[in-house]
Amino acid sequence: MIFYYSGTGNTRYAATFIARECGDAEPRFIPEALRSLREGSIMTEALAADVGPSLGIMFPIYSWGVPPVVTAFISRLLPHIGSDIYIWAVCTCGDEAGIAMRLFSKTVERFTGKRPGLLASVIMPNDYVLLPGFDVDSEETMRRKLEAAPERLAQLSRLIAARTRGVYDVKEGSFPALRTRLTFPLFRRWGVNPKKWKTSDACISCGRCAHACPASNIIISEGRPVWGNDCYSCCACYHVCPVKAISYGCATKDKGQYFFSG
Ligand SMILES: Cc1cc2nc3c(=O)[nH]c(=O)nc-3n(C[C@H](O)[C@H](O)[C@H](O)COP(=O)(O)O)c2cc1C
Ligand code: SF4
Ligand code: SF4
C-alpha cells in the first residue's frame, strides 16, 4: 500500500503512477489517514494490518526536509508494521532534497529496526512562493520536468515492484546537510503564519481553495474563505484560485501559479 501527502498534486500524480505500475491499490492520503487515527475511527493496528507486503511513503520536500504531517503519520504507523514488509519512500521536489531522505531513513529504522529498501526523489515543478525570490518555474522548465517525470516514475516502479533493496537515488543538491539542518528547523518554527492568508474582492466564492486544502484548514463563510491555524504551508489554496484572489502578505505579489493538472 502507498500512503502519500500532496499539496499541489505532484505527489498525488506520482503515487497514482507507481501504484498503477506496481498493481497496487489506490494510494491513501496521509492527512486523512492521520485524522482517522486521531479521531479513533481507524485503529493503528487495523491500518497496519491492511498494508500488505509493501509499504510506500510519498511526499513533497519542504525546506529540504520531510513535511511534519508525514513524520506525525509514520510515527504512529511504523511501530505496528510487520518486520517482513518491504518499505520504500519517494519524494517529489522542485530541485533538491538535501539530506531529508537520509533523516527519513533513520526515522524508519528507529521504528522498524531496518532502513527502507529504496529511497528516491523525482523532480517536479516547484510550487513554493512564500518567500522573496521563490516563484514557480518558467513554462519551459515546467514542461521539461513534466515530460521527464513518467520515465523516472516508470524506472522507480520497476525497482519497487522487484522489491529492490539498497537503492539511494536522491538529488540532494549542494551543501545538503547544511541546508537541511539549518533551514528545516527554521521552517518548522516560522515557515508559515496562517493569519497572513487573505482573499480579495475578486473572490467568486467557488470554494476551490477549501476543497484543495489538505489540512482542512479553510472554511467558506458568507461566500469567502476563512483560514484556521492548522496550515501545512503547501500553497495549494493560492495556486488553485481561478481569479488569483488569494495572497500571502506581499510575498505572493506578481508570483505565478502552479497545480498539477495532467
Ligand atoms: C513549503 C514548501 C517548501 C519547499 N521546499 C522545497 C525544497 O527545499 N526543495 C525543493 O526542491 N523543492 C521544495 N518545494 C517544492 C516542492 O517540494 C515541489 O514542488 C513538490 O513537487 C510539490 O509537491 P505536491 O504538488 O505534491 O505538493 C517546496 C514547496 C513548499 C510548498
Ligand atoms: S491553508 Fe492553504 S497553504 Fe495552508 S494547508 Fe491549506 S491549502 Fe495549504
Ligand atoms: S478559490 Fe479563489 S475565488 Fe474560489 S473561493 Fe477561494 S478565494 Fe474565492
Which residues are CB-neighbours of 209 under 8 A, at least 6 positions away?
A: 199, 218, 225, 236, 237, 238, 240, 241, 246
What is the percent of the chain where pLDDT is above 70?
Answer: 100
Cα of 257 vs centre of ligand 1, distance in Å, is: 13
Q: Which amino acid is at 182?
A: L
Closest ligand 3 atom to residue 223 Cα is 5
Closest ligand 2 atom to 233 CA? 3
Q: Which atom belonging to ligand 1 lies closest to the Cα atom of 187?
A: 1
The position carrying cell 474563505 is 225
pLDDT at position 1, please?
A: 97
Q: pLDDT for 130-186, tens place per residue?
A: 999 999 999 999 999 999 999 999 999 999 999 999 999 999 999 999 999 999 999
Measured from the CB, is residue 259 less than 6 Å from ligand 1? no
Closest atom, ligand 3, to C-alpha of 220: 5
Spell out the domains of the chain, with CATH numbers in brackets.
Answer: 2-188 (3.40.50.360), 194-248 (3.30.70.20)
Evaluate if residue 191 carries a pLDDT over 90. no
Tell me what the pLDDT averaged over the chain comes to: 96
Ligand 1 midpoint to CA 62 (Å): 5
Query: What are φ and ψ of residue 180, in 5° steps?
Result: -65, -45
Q: Are 78 and 57 in contact (CB under 8 A)?
A: no
For residue range 9-28, list pLDDT tens digits in order.
999 999 999 999 999 999 99
Residue whose CA is at the smallest distance from ligand 2 atom 2: 237
Q: With contact defined as beta carbons under 8 Å apart, do 160 and 22 qualify?
A: yes
Check whether 209 has a pLDDT greater than 80: yes
pLDDT at 190: 86
- The predicted pLDDT at position 139 comes to 97
Looking at the predicted structure, is the pLDDT value of residue 262 above 80? no
Contact 231 CB / ligand 2 (< 6 Å): yes
Residues with CB under 6 A from ligand 3: 199, 203-209, 225, 240-241, 243, 245-246
What's the grid cell of residue 88? Answer: 520504500
pLDDT for the residue numbered 4: 98
Pocket-testing residue among 237, 239, 240, 259, ligand 2, by greatest number of atoms within 8 A of Cβ: 237
Taking the CA of 197 as reference, the closest ligand is 2
**For 42-97, what is each residue's pLDDT tens digit?**
999 999 999 999 999 999 999 999 999 999 999 999 999 988 999 999 999 999 99
Residue identifier of the C-alpha nearest atom 4 of ligand 2: 231
pLDDT given at position 164: 98
pTM score, whole prediction? 0.97
